[in-house]
Amino acid sequence: MKPHNRPVTESLRQQRIRRAESLATQYPFASQILSFYIQIARFQQDLYGRLEARSAAVSPTSGPPELPELLSSFPKFLALIEKQAPAPLAEIARDLSHAPSNSWSDLLNNVWSSPGELSDQPTDPAEFLAVAFLQPYAEFVRSRVPLQLEGYSHALCPFCSRKPALAVLRPLGDGARRNLLCGFCLCEWEFRRIVCPGCDEKDHAKLPVYTAEQFPYIRVECCDTCRTYLKSIDLSKNGLADPLVDELASIPLDLWAQERGYSKLKPNLLAM
């Protein structure tokens, strides 16, 4: 299996939502966050479908055909957040929905064009909302451009230059190969196993890996040099796992790592 620039198919999205539903009942500590995620994921799924339809209906020479669809979908997204999100976030969505629409395009443009550093620690909740809203669009655009993934060996996403949100171990022969996954455009690319994607540290002794009994298929890969961590979902140990969803659900691992002074290389879609 060679790395390729795959779009996330309709059935994969549905599987992901089902996985979130099942983990929400399995892990009470994650049920609230997963229920919220499911609402967002359903919205994203619809938006992706509308973007696809819009793009197919308009000839590609007439400018970015998805833009009107995006801007007209943003109020629906804000309404969803206002209704479903915890109070502080719901309030931000309400304020934004009353702001002039040119401030929306500024926000969306800023988040779209700043490759990561602005969004690394999304303390600005409006920015978090924009990232979650634009995620399916990023995926849509990424799956339509030619990307040379074979031989790509950098730690930043080859499409949007963001830091990876997590790692995935995919079965390969008797072991597993490590891929990094971008949480924004969902690009997945191969990366060496014993290298920190945050600072390029290669010294085995400075790259401790932790697991917890509760999640035997999730590794917390830490770096004692830059004090960051990312979670690695081992699909060779649990083929039912969905990397994005299982990463979100395993909140105790984040608390554990953060208590020990590690900070997450890249916060996930729910800003954790």
| Kind and range of the H or E run holding 17 | helix 10-26
By three-state DSSP, how is residue 118 classified?
helix
Give the number of residues in contact with Zn ion, rule: CB under 5 A.
14
Interface region with Zn ion, contact rule CB under 5 A, candidates 25-33, 64-72, 159-167, 264-272: 159-167
Strand 175-181 with 209-212, pairing: unpaired
- Closest CB to Zn ion among residues 36, 184: 184
Q: Which is nearer to Zn ion, 130 or 196 (CB)?
A: 196
Binding mask 226-255 for Zn ion (x = CB under 5 A): x-----------------------------
Cα–Cα distance measured from residue 100 to residue 184, given in angstroms and rounded to the nearest whole number = 26
220 binds Zn ion (CB under 5 A): no
Rg (CA), the chain: 18
Is 225 a residue that touches Zn ion (CB under 5 A)?
yes
**Binding segment (CB under 5 A) for Zn ion, from list 60-68, 74-82, 105-113, 221-229:** 221-229
| Chain-centre distance for alpha carbon 212 | 23
Closest to 40 in 3D by CA, of 82, 102, 7, 70? 82
Subset of 17-76 contacting Zn ion (CB under 5 A): none
User: What amino acid occupies position 166?
Assistant: L
Q: How far is the CB of 95 from Zn ion (least distance, A)?
A: 28
CA dihedral angle for residue 252, residue 13, residue 39, residue 53, rounded to 10 degrees = 150
The yes or no reply on residue 134 touching Zn ion (CB under 5 A) is: no
Residue ranges that bind Zn ion, judged by CB under 5 A: 157, 159-160, 182, 184-185, 187, 196, 198-199, 201, 223, 225-226
